[in-house]
Structure 1
């Protein structure tokens, strides 16, 4: 198979779908690889590094889309890129379609086979291709929140860990999954006063055992969420419903109960956000203020630490990319039902139930397209 990867064009996105090491693996499996010029510069990989492992360099994205049977990316294709997709071409990347009806319609119209990293599952109820970026985003959320709390950035002027004689910041984490766990690790490590809320008793038990007295846990009832948000200096939104839009846990009315200069970091913004007042921002302009509360809603947080993020992502995506290239997408998905969960759109059909329900579109079971 001929596989291609592109220079990402989303604002301040420096990750790349294939590292030179991943390109080498594909080449050694007998596949052709084409890389858009400059695609790896954000992780310190020059065109020559790709050429050294047998990849070809293309001057323009149109050449990559035009000659490759599978495109491996990081972020969802932008409008210009969606126009280059063709029927039957495999797109393997993050998509986050639930809050994006325009992208969904255009991918359906393209006839491409779109496999989303974020809905590929495993045998343990996890999302293995989302996990490394959730780990990065959870840890970055605390860094970003700490910066936004600085007075210069519109925050309360509070140091997360405090100092002797001065109380630390109060950090509320909504969701105890991968993002929430990693955010809690960072926040407790800095000495903050941390509370984690979740609705799954098993998750709460696991967190309580791990953090012991370093963090509190609470069941995420509406009353508990409202009370924790009102007391917080920093709130991390870390909820996820696989494939679906994130639930709105913090309403605009709750902002009136918060401290002036408190900070909300919405890690769920790729799935529409879990704060009513959220909207996507970029690394160029990461924050905005509503009712005196600072909102950080960057939709590609891991892009800021591109080298770490790219290698972490390739570690988990490469085996699947190899399987698709070696077997073809239909056979690869037939053999691996967990990979088949990643099929969101294919051959003009919506194959992710949650996306279809979100946009009022007909749903086709992935099995119907696998022969």
Structure 2
């Protein structure tokens, strides 16, 4: 199979879909790999590194798409890439279709095979290709939240860890999944007081068992959310519904109840956000303010730490890439139920029902 690795062109996205080690594995399996010139530079991998591993370097993104049977990326194609995706071409990347009807319609029109990292699902319900980026984003959420709580960037002026004689900052985490637990761990490490909410009592019991005493768990409902936003300085949105749009747990009217200068970091922005006032931002222009509340809603947070993120992501995607290349998408998905759940759009048909539900479309399942 011919595998292509284009350079990511989303704003400030420096990750790359494959490392030289991944190229080496594919070439060892008698596949041909084309890498766009400069694709890995943001993550610390250079053209010569890919060439030594056996890749062929192409100058433009158009050349990579045109020659490849399978495209391996990090982020979803953006508008200028839509026309490059070919009929029958496998595109293996994060898609988050439920948050973008334009992207969904474009991929339907392309008649490509769209396999989404974020919906590949193991038998136990875990999402192996989403987990490492959720770990990165959860940890980063606290770093960014702590920074934007500083007064020079319009924050409340609170040091999360506090100092002797001054109470620490208060962090509210919505969701006790991978993002939420990693965020709580980082915030607790700084010495902040942390409250974590979820509707899954098993998850709350787990958090209660592994976290220190200054991490408090409560059941998530509107009453508790409204209560806690009045007293917390930093709110982390870490809610995930697999392949579907995130629910709005914080509505616009709630912002007026929050401290002026409080910060919301909505990690769920890729799936539409769990805050009503969420809109995607970029690393170039990461925040906006509504009702004196700072919103940080960067849709590719892990892209700010591309070396760590690329290594963590490709550790888990490579076995699936090799399987797809060796067997073709149909045989690979027939033999691997986890990978089969990654199929979102196949040759013009939506095959993942949460996407049709997100847009209130009539289901057209194959």
Give TM-score scaled by structure 1 length: 0.98
Structure-1 separation of matches of 2:41 and 2:223: 48
Pair 1:164-2:164 in alignment: yes
By how many angstroms is 1:362 displaced?
4.2
Structure-2 separation of matches of 1:107 and 1:94: 13
1:15 aligned partner? 15
1:125 aligned partner? 125
By how many angstroms is 1:314 displaced?
0.2
By how many angstroms is 1:361 displaced?
3.1
2:184 aligned partner? 184
Structure-1 separation of matches of 2:128 and 2:180: 16
Structure-2 separation of matches of 1:357 and 1:220: 24
1:142 aligned partner? 142
2:37 aligned partner? 37
Q: Deviations over 1:99-118 (max 9, x none)?
A: 10000000000000000000
1:250 aligned partner? 250
* Partner secondary structure for residue 231 of structure 1: coil
Structure-2 separation of matches of 1:139 and 1:9: 25
2:338 aligned partner? 338
Pair 1:87-2:87 in alignment: yes
2:288 aligned partner? 288
Whether contact under 8 Å (2:188, 2:212) holds in the other structure is no
Structure-1 separation of matches of 2:173 and 2:208: 14
Structure-2 separation of matches of 1:143 and 1:41: 24
Structure-2 separation of matches of 1:214 and 1:19: 40
Structure-2 separation of matches of 1:8 and 1:221: 39
Structure-1 separation of matches of 2:60 and 2:107: 21
Structure-1 separation of matches of 2:52 and 2:31: 15
Structure-2 separation of matches of 1:360 and 1:261: 37
By how many angstroms is 1:81 displaced?
1.0
* Partner secondary structure for residue 98 of structure 1: helix
* Partner secondary structure for residue 108 of structure 2: helix
Whether contact under 8 Å (2:239, 2:274) holds in the other structure is yes
Which shifted more, 223-232 or 323-332? 223-232
Q: Deviations over 1:79-98 (max 9, x none)?
A: 11111111100000000010
**Equivalent pairs, count:** 366
By how many angstroms is 1:358 displaced?
1.4
Whether contact under 8 Å (2:6, 2:39) holds in the other structure is yes
By how many angstroms is 1:214 displaced?
2.8
Structure-1 separation of matches of 2:30 and 2:80: 30
Q: Which runs of 5+ in 1 are unaligned?
A: none
* Partner secondary structure for residue 186 of structure 2: helix
1:328 aligned partner? 328
2:98 aligned partner? 98
1:224 aligned partner? 224
Report the RMSD for the aligned CA atoms in angstroms: 0.8
**4+ long deviations beyond 6 Å:** none
Structure-1 separation of matches of 2:46 and 2:165: 51
Q: Deviations over 1:132-183 (max 9, x none)?
A: 0000000000000000000011101100000000010010000000000000
Q: Deviations over 1:334-371 (max 9, x none)?
A: 11111111111110000110001212334344xx4xxx
Pair 1:299-2:299 in alignment: yes
* Partner secondary structure for residue 211 of structure 2: helix
Structure-1 separation of matches of 2:364 and 2:48: 43
Whether contact under 8 Å (1:177, 1:238) holds in the other structure is yes
1:198 aligned partner? 198
1:173 aligned partner? 173
* Partner secondary structure for residue 115 of structure 1: strand
Whether contact under 8 Å (1:350, 1:361) holds in the other structure is no
Which shifted more, 141-150 or 207-216? 207-216
Whether contact under 8 Å (1:248, 1:274) holds in the other structure is yes
Q: Deviations over 1:225-271 (max 9, x none)?
A: 11111111000000000000000000111111100000000000000
By how many angstroms is 1:121 displaced?
0.2
2:46 aligned partner? 46
